[in-house]
Structure 1
Amino acid sequence: MTTSDTAQKRLGTLDDAITAIRSSILEGEFAPHQRLVEVDLCEQFGVSRAVVRNALLKLTSEGLVEHLPNRGARVRAISLDEAIEIVEARAALEALCARKAAERMTPEAREYLTELRAAIVDALESGDLAEYSMLHQRLDHYIRDLSAHHTSTQILERLQAQGARHQFRLSFRPGRAARSGPEHLEIIDALLAEDADAVEEATISHLKGVITAMRES
């Protein structure tokens, strides 16, 4: 095996560990303030202690993990006030990405968004909240990709990871999909119309609604 092959294998192992631990935090397997013991994580995910240590450093930079003096790492708790601040920051960046996406529409993007819109309508009508949650995440990611605004995308990915636990709970609250669904459809319709002003306004309006719903919790 060449030196480059070894480096690539090591990199993949670290990426896998970061993804696995991040998912465990976001999905609630690891609770807020729970200690993250390196030896236990090595055994759970089948990686070395050095890989776990580097993965925790990466997740610390993302704001998902914190290190306490002489106590090691633990899952960082995001308060409701901080989660609201995160959404407020996201609103400006997501509105920018939405505007850029409207300016970069292509026939392929139009086809994809039309199909995604139909799938969202189907999920809403059938009451499939898990499917709807997955679809609106796909919409968020697609808008960022289409915008090609890499700086905003990088910041948004970090912010969204930090606020994901609050967002996840909110998405399954009774009646929430009935309010957010039409907002997502409005965003898609503005994109299909290539109306940058309208999609920016719809994005900000949607996230203001998210903040209102979070405060009502």
Structure 2
Amino acid sequence: MDPSARPGTGEQAKQHALKLLRDAILRGDMVPAQRLVENELAEQFGVTRASIRAALIDLAAEGLVERIRNRGSRVRVVSVDEAVAITECRMVLEGLCAAKAAVEATDEQLDRLRRLGGEMSKAVAGGESMTYSQLNRELHSLLREYSGQSVADELLQRLHAQLVRHRFQLALRPGRPQKSLPEHLAIIDAVTARDPNAADQAVRAHLTSVITALRE
């Protein structure tokens, strides 16, 4: 790292380390159960060990890191049962966001959702599973944004982060995009029709399908 680009100390350094660690976990660069050695991370990110430790404490509070007594920290392992429980919570919150988006979104925002549905269909038709996965995440993000429900948005971002490994596994499972595409298009159709009840039900149907896939 260029020394001139390194952050200072204290809160600035902690936030720098926190962002880099969180992004690495969400990208899948750091895998579940991987040890997080404070000295190595401090050298890698150009901050103090104290800044790394403070960042790891914050990530533990977010459910991304597990701190083990006398053994340091590791990327937290989320079991299938826990992933199902998290998805059940997502069902309620994302249903709320979709319902509110159906009412609150502007016409321009609804047009963006329609275009996104077309992009998702094109990605599946072309066998571009990772592109489809990225568009999938964009759809859920836009629904949270368009809902104007900031509390649900914050909670959902934390829940999504804990599911990163399971999300990657589902994205790469043969036939999964073909299964989930109609579910996503149904969500888009309900929101763009400005039907909050249908939007809520479409999200619940989709996440019920996700739970079934997680258990397979």
Q: Deviations over 1:56-86 (max 9, x none)?
A: 1111111111111222111111111111111
Q: What residue is the counterpart of 2:206 in the other structure? A: 206
Q: What residue is the counterpart of 1:47 in the other structure? A: 47
Q: 1:139 to 1:9 in 2, by over 3 A?
A: farther
Letter in 1 for 2:145: D
Q: What residue is the counterpart of 1:145 in the other structure? A: 145
Letter in 1 for 2:122: D
The answer (yes or no) to whether the contact 2:65–2:76 under 8 Å persists in 1 is yes
SS of equivalent to 1:117? helix
How far apart are the structure 2 equivalents of 1:188 and 1:107?
13
The answer (yes or no) to whether the contact 1:63–1:162 under 8 Å persists in 2 is yes
Q: How many residues align?
A: 210
Q: What residue is the counterpart of 1:4 in the other structure? A: none
Structure 1 runs not aligned, ≥5 long: 1-6
How far apart are the structure 1 equivalents of 2:158 and 2:21?
15
Letter in 2 for 1:92: V
Q: What residue is the counterpart of 1:164 in the other structure? A: 164
Q: Structure 2 matches for 1:16-55, cutoff 5 A?
A: 16-55=16-55
The answer (yes or no) to whether the contact 1:64–1:75 under 8 Å persists in 2 is yes
TM-score by length of 1: 0.90
Letter in 1 for 2:187: I
Q: 1:8 to 1:205 in 2, by over 3 A?
A: farther
How far apart are the structure 2 equivalents of 1:11 and 1:134?
32
Structure 2 runs not aligned, ≥5 long: 1-6
Letter in 1 for 2:163: G
Letter in 2 for 1:104: E
More displaced 10-residue stretch of structure 1: 46-55 or 138-147: 46-55
SS of equivalent to 1:131? helix
The answer (yes or no) to whether the contact 1:190–1:196 under 8 Å persists in 2 is yes
Q: CA deviation at 1:33?
A: 2.2
Q: What residue is the counterpart of 2:61 in the other structure? A: 61
Q: CA deviation at 1:129?
A: 0.8
Q: Deviations over 1:133-170 (max 9, x none)?
A: 11110110110011111111111111111112111111
Letter in 1 for 2:78: I
Q: Structure 2 matches for 1:68-83, cutoff 5 A?
A: 68-83=68-83
Q: 1:9 to 1:193 in 2, by over 3 A?
A: farther
Q: Deviations over 1:87-111 (max 9, x none)?
A: 0111011001110110112122122
Letter in 2 for 1:84: V
How far apart are the structure 2 equivalents of 1:137 and 1:150?
17
More displaced 10-residue stretch of structure 1: 27-36 or 130-139: 27-36
SS of equivalent to 1:74? strand
TM-score by length of 2: 0.91
The answer (yes or no) to whether the contact 1:27–1:165 under 8 Å persists in 2 is no
Q: CA deviation at 1:8?
A: 9.5
Q: CA deviation at 1:122?
A: 1.2
How far apart are the structure 1 equivalents of 2:9 and 2:37?
24
Q: Percent of counterpart pairs with the same letter?
A: 45
Q: CA deviation at 1:13?
A: 4.4
The answer (yes or no) to whether the contact 2:28–2:164 under 8 Å persists in 1 is no
Q: What residue is the counterpart of 2:103 in the other structure? A: 103
RMSD: 1.8
